[in-house]
Amino acid sequence: MAVALETETLTAAVPGGARRTGARLELAVRILGPLALLALILGGWELLVRVNEIPPYILPGPVAVLQSLVDDWQSLYPSLLVTLRITFLALAVAVIGGVGLAILFSLSRWIEMSLFPLAVILQVTPVVSIAPLILIYVDNITLALLICAWIVAFFPILSNTTLGLASADHNLRDLFELYGASRWQQLVHLRLPSALPYFLGGLRIAGGLSLIGAIVAEFAAGTGGTGSGLAFRILEAGWRLEIPRMFAALLLISMAGILIFLAFTALQHLLLRRWHASATARER
């Protein structure tokens, strides 16, 4: 008797153009909706400032903020780079440390039970309150900032990856055991791929947090000079009552945060789109 191929097709057929039109409309709403709202808020803000003739040192309008961004680009841009450098260094260390520690946890219950509470303590203590201490004990400012940013960024990666490594399918684990897989093979071929979606979720959170950590630490450090980041530019502008510049620096921080988030969202989509339920369209 022949083994006949099942007749199911790979994907359900799309019923005509109706769905495509719907998708296009949804995309338009998703992009245009927030943009329209943003334009409305900015326009209202500008109008409010102009009609009431509010001076820029009290509340600058969006136009004045943009003007300041252009005028002060020479000092803001290097500061942006400084902050981003700390952010990404901290994130890189958080990824290496978080994933490394999570793998260690998955190999040994003892290590997990001993170290996890410490990680939680680090996580729940606000970085604002630890930063001054770190700045006292660590001479190198950059290193101190890095440690602060790392403290906030590493926990979501550690906890998510730990959860992911432990969530490998039990039957698959049995299967690996049946075929005599080594611990290393189990880690590489089963546990790490199982943990990937969890890790990427943690990474997305950690990306934003490492930026926050870097900014908070810069505030606590409050140092000037050539190597100072955006937080110091905000402090500096505040002392000089250059309010538009404060807004301009704030704008840069927000933009950096948004770009980091978008970049990791794109990475997540890229890595998971073929197989994970979170990244694949649901047929309805």
Partner 1 sequence: MSPAVAEPVEHRAPAGEGEEAAGAAGPLFALRDIGKTFANGTVALDGLDFTVGRHAFVSLLGPSGCGKSTVLRLIAGLTRPSRGRLVWHRQIARGDIGFVFQEPTLMPWATVFDNVRLPLRLQGRGRQEVREEVERALAMVGLEEFAGAYPRELSGGMKMRASIARALVTRPRLLLMDEPFAALDEITRFKLNNELLDLWARENWTVVFVTHSVYESVYLSQRILVMASRPGRITAEIPIDAPYPRDEAFRLSPAYTEACRRVSAELRRAMGE
Decide whether 176 or 247 has the Cβ nearer to partner 1.
176
- Beta carbon of residue 103, minimum distance to partner 1 (angstroms, whole number): 18
Helix count (H) and strand count (E) of the chain? 11, 0
# of chain residues touching partner 1 (CB under 8 A): 30
3-state secondary structure at position 226: coil
Decide whether 85 or 276 has the Cβ nearer to partner 1.
276
* CA-based nearest residue to 106, from 190, 18, 226, 10: 190
**Counting contacts by CB under 8 A, is residue 184 touching partner 1?**
no
Stretch that binds partner 1, among 186-194, 214-222, 240-248, 256-264 (CB under 8 A): 186-194
Burial code (b: 16+ CB inside 10 Å, e: under 16) for 15-33 equals eeeeeeeeeeeeeeeeeee
* CA-based nearest residue to 168, from 140, 189, 138, 142: 189
| String of contacts with partner 1 for each residue 190-209, x by CB under 8 A | x--x--x-------------
* CA-based nearest residue to 232, from 123, 164, 141: 141
- Beta carbon of residue 157, minimum distance to partner 1 (angstroms, whole number): 20
Q: What is the largest CA-CA distance in the chain?
A: 88
- The residue within the footprint of partner 1, chosen from 122, 172, 251, 267 (CB under 8 A), is 172
Stretch that binds partner 1, among 31-39, 108-116, 258-266, 275-283 (CB under 8 A): 275-283
- The residue within the footprint of partner 1, chosen from 108, 169, 183, 240 (CB under 8 A), is 169
